[in-house]
Amino acid sequence: MIKNFKLKYYLSPFLIDLIRFYRSYQLKKVPSRILKTNSRWHNKYCGEEVFIIGNGPSLGDVDLSLIKGSKVIVMNSFERATWKDSVEIVAHCIGEPSMVKAWSKSEILESINGTKAKSYWLHFTSYNHFEKCGKRDLLHYVFITNEPGLWGNRAINLAKPTLTYQTTAQLAILVALHMGFNKIGLLGFDHDWLASPDYSKHFYSNEKDSNDTLHEWSYLVIVNMIDRMWRIYYKLRDIANYNGVEIYNLTKSSYLDVFKKDDLENF
């Protein structure tokens, strides 16, 4: 994130996107062999449907019997879900870069070992931290480089450098598009940071996570974070529409207004 927001008054969004693109490439280059393993999942579920499970508190109000046995993509601390074994987890996404405060090797390992998934997807800066992980053959890394203003591709292929993301929920959508799902339902996507900027709420607890830093940010920082996040969501929507992929936000009272809203009962 470019934290000196005075730059936004002097530089165009395009130039800011170029700066972020340059920083991504300077940060670390991922060996092609690391990304090549992502190819095994490319279009594996072509034509199928999937639920992406966010961690928002609204998930606690969902009739879970409606998704029992369904293919799902989950994220971050999903190992805390008491009903995790009632769904088929095709991917577990943990999106934090290794240089941020929220990143914790021990917590990531706890999450991976506590969730029975067919694949696990992490930020590219994590790729040399889990050599001794018992599930290392199931770990996949995403090399994000392009801001939405620079992304011209009409499809997502995570075996190559790809569109950036602001939140793990967006990484999960990237994974779903990469896997070829053509109908995607979003659950637990509350996205209410501007409405309640004290800390991020989750379905599994009313307590603030130990690595939550939202309270440290000014409201202006949060506003700019959401601005970038929404621009990425619009790009994801454009990519989905071009490829005939339907994305529905099934989260009641969600602030995410980019995708078509619907009820889980109608999905």
Can you tell me the distance from the alpha carbon of 238 to that of 215, in angstroms, rounded to the nearest whole number? 32
Domain count, the chain: 1
The 8-class DSSP code of residue 215 comes to G
Q: Above 60 in pLDDT, residue 258? A: yes
Under the banding of pLDDT at 50, 70 and 90, the label for residue 26 is very low
The answer to whether position 33 is within a domain reads yes
Tens of pLDDT, residues 125-144: 998 899 888 999 999 999 99
Read off the pLDDT of each residue in 173-193 and give the average, rounded to a whole number. 96
- CA atoms within 13 A of residue 251's CA, in its CB half-sphere: 28
Q: Model's pTM, two decimal places?
A: 0.87
The answer to whether position 74 is within a domain reads yes
Under the banding of pLDDT at 50, 70 and 90, the label for residue 28 is low
Structural domain that includes position 20: 7-266
The answer to whether position 2 is within a domain reads no
| Three-state SS at 90 | strand
Determine the pLDDT at residue 195.
80
Read off the pLDDT of each residue in 245-258 and give the average, rounded to a whole number. 96
Under the banding of pLDDT at 50, 70 and 90, the label for residue 245 is very high
The 8-class DSSP code of residue 245 comes to -
Tens of pLDDT, residues 46-81: 999 999 999 999 998 999 999 999 999 999 999 999
C-alpha pair distances (Å), 162 with each of 9, 98, 229: 28, 18, 16
Output the domain CATH number for residue 249.
3.90.1480
The answer to whether position 91 is within a domain reads yes
- CA atoms within 13 A of residue 177's CA, in its CB half-sphere: 29
In this structure, are residues 172 and 84 in contact, taking their beta carbons and an 8 Å threshold?
A: no
The answer to whether position 42 is within a domain reads yes
Decide: residue 160, CB within 10 A, 0-12 exposed, 13-18 middle, 19+ buried: middle
Determine the pLDDT at residue 19.
58
The answer to whether position 1 is within a domain reads no
Helix ranges (DSSP H) in the chain: 7-10, 13-27, 32-36, 105-113, 168-179, 219-242
| Among 217, 176, 168, residue whose Cα is nearest residue 193 | 217
Instruction: Pick the range with the lowest mean pLDDT from 85-89, 174-178, 187-191, 208-212.
Output: 208-212
